[in-house]
A and B are shown apart, each in its own frame.
Chain A
């Protein structure tokens, strides 16, 4: 199953878990599964079905905005990382 890694500040929403095993064939489907199982966490990173402006998702270290965004296909052993975007400059 694909895994989603959770950044430290959001682990209070997952009972301390830093990696979640979820199902889905695309990034969007994995996030839907996440929303079903961890609605509070999903509320922090999603808004009206879209990833929030200052949240970035990486599929195996590649920003999904350079792939096919939420439609990006996800394989069984892929890892999605949630990374807060507001830093740098």
Chain B
């Protein structure tokens, strides 16, 4: 957590290094910047014992997060449950299945609280008073809530037509929420231009290198919660394509520090067929990720047609021996129901994408049924209720009489009860 653990920022394309700062990209080639650590120095204090003695939040891995001081925003984020999902495993026909459940992350019920905690803590370190983001919904709520708690002004830009739960879930915190006509890629482009013009900290523009590091904590937690090992397979949803890479980076960093055995995890990426630029590239073995002009899916949180990290995500999937798949809106809803009915977890549409893709990859033989598999559940079903309207049973209305009740449940239930006695 001290400044000397972070060496600076390095371009992922040309390797040019920069001191820490709110930079958009490499000045030579526009390449993305990545935080570099001094792993030898990190390893002096970051041991299994030290981690296990710390509070159960994402900050227990603080030496591998790019803050100079302690976190000032989002101190309670992370360490969400890793649920051993035996009933779902039976339904899918696999032996060892886990759900990393960020649907219950604090405070805004999505994995975005992890990235925002780092980005806004860094924004405070840099002296920003106003922060912002381009968002498909979850990030909007997280920036708004965490900015409110930190006393920062927030501008949140979203595509128009987002789910009501996502819109309310940002405006309630007093953020200035601006709906932009168009899709996420239009919003993102506008935010890049705003970030050049105004001296604001945009979490996924000029704070992006720091922001993205927060996603690693999902990977650190998975490995620790598995008893200090990386799983055989991880299935992660992909929007911009950053999360999947950061989970793998987390495993790799733990390996570098000698905290887990060498990593052989295969990474699997999940998208909706209505917005599948990355999985399409993987499946067709294309060199370039071709953007999708008009994303059209109920998984709005994944509807990024031009994913910034698409190139790196598709490369990682191929290099680790994983695969990518995409699924239809109907398959997404079916999977949301399956997850709820087998494990009691109501994920947002993106969770349906992840599970439906996992099921497809298991059936295709791409995911080995005997290995250990972790599905990343990144958001909460309460925020995407529109996707289920008309797709789940309506409650039956009866009069408040036993006769009505018994007529409804029938002799079958009665017999079952007698058997129990």
Cβ-defined contact, B29 with A84, below 8 A: no
A10 to chain B, nearest CB (A): 9
Would you call B30 and A55 a contact (CB within 8 A)? yes
Question: Which residues of B have CB within 8 Å of A15?
Answer: none
* C-alpha gap A84/B24 in the complex (Å): 9
Known: A54-B13, A63-B306, A65-B290. A88 touches B184 (CB 8 A): yes
Q: Is A87's CB under 8 angstroms from B192's CB? A: yes
Cα–Cα distance between A56 and B29 once the two chains are bound (Å): 12
Expressed in whole angstroms, the Cα–Cα distance for A56 and B308 within the complex equals: 11
- Chain A residues, CB < 8 A from B354: none
* CB-based contact A89/B25 at 8 Å: no
Q: Which residues of B contact A53 (CB under 8 A)?
A: 13, 31, 311
Complex: how many Å from CA A44 to CA B189?
A: 19
- With both chains docked as a complex, state the minimum distance between the C-beta of B296 and any C-beta of chain A, in angstroms: 15
Given A53-B311, A87-B134; A66-B293 close (CB under 8 Å):
yes
Which of B141-149, B217-225, B235-243, B266-274 has 4 or more CB atoms under 8 Å from chain A?
B235-243
Contacts of A9 in B (CB 8 A): 24, 27, 196
Q: How large is the interface on A (under 10, 10 to 19, 20 to 34, 35 or more residues)?
A: 20 to 34
Minimum Cβ distance to chain A for residue B141 (Å): 16
The answer to whether residues A66 and B24 also contact, given A44-B29, A54-B30, A85-B30 and a CB cut-off of 8 A, is no
A86 in contact (CB, < 8 A): yes
Report whether B29 and A52 are in contact in the complex, using a CB–CB cutoff of 8 Å: yes
Contact in complex: A86, B32 (CB < 8 Å): yes
Is B44 part of the contact surface with A, judged by Cβ < 8 Å? no
Instruction: Tell whether, in the assembled complex, residue B188 and residue A88 are in contact, meaning their CB atoms are under 8 Å apart.
Output: yes
Give the CA-CA distance A26 to B193 in the complex, in Å.
25
Asked whether, in the complex, the Cβ of B240 is within 8 Å of the Cβ of A89, the reply is: yes
**Interface residue B208 (Cβ < 8 Å from any Cβ of A):** yes
Residues of chain B within 8 A (CB-CB) of A1 are none
CB distance from A82 to the nearest CB of B (A): 9
Q: Which residue of the partner chain A has the closest CB to B307?
A: A89
Q: Mark A46-73, 1 if CB is under 8 A from B, else 0.
A: 0100001111101000010110000000
Q: Whole-angstrom distance from the CB of A35 to the nearest CB of chain B?
A: 16
Q: Residue among B239, B241, B304, B308 with the most chain A CB within 10 A?
A: B308
Q: Is A83 interfacial (CB-CB < 8 Å)?
A: yes
Question: Could you count the A-B residue pairs with CB atoms below 8 Å apart for me: how many are there?
Answer: 81
Any B CB within 8 A of the CB of A16:
no
| Contact among B30, B191, B193 with A52 in the assembled complex (CB-CB below 8 Å) | B30
Asked if residues B30 and A65 are in contact (CB atoms below 8 Å), the reply is no
* CB closest chain-B residue, reference A82: B30
A89's partner among B189, B239, B293 (CB-CB below 8 A) is: B239
| Complex interface: chain A residues within 8 A of B306 (CB) | 56, 63, 85
Alpha-carbon distance between A33 and B240 when the two chains are bound, in angstroms:
34
Q: Evaluate whether A88 and B290 lie within 8 angstroms (CB atoms) in the complex, with A8-B197, A63-B306 already known.
A: no
CB contacts (< 8 Å) of B202 on chain A: these are 87
Interface string of A26-38 (1 = CB under 8 A from B): 0000000000000
Question: A86 touches which one: B24, B184, B239, B291 (CB < 8 A)?
Answer: B24
Looking at the complex, which one of A63, A66, A85, A87 makes contact with B191 (CB distance below 8 Å)?
Answer: A87
A87 and B293 contacting across the interface, CB-CB below 8 Å: no
A7 interface residue per 8 A CB criterion: yes
Q: Which 10 A-B pairs have the closest CB atoms?
A: A89-B240, A88-B188, A8-B196, A54-B30, A86-B32, A87-B205, A89-B242, A84-B30, A86-B25, A87-B192
A-B contact pairs, 6 of them (CB 8 A): A7-B193, A44-B28, A84-B25, A86-B32, A87-B205, A89-B204
Q: Which residues of B contact A (CB under 8 A)?
A: 13, 24-25, 27-32, 134, 184-185, 188-189, 191-193, 195-197, 202, 204-205, 208, 239-242, 290-291, 293, 304, 306-309, 311
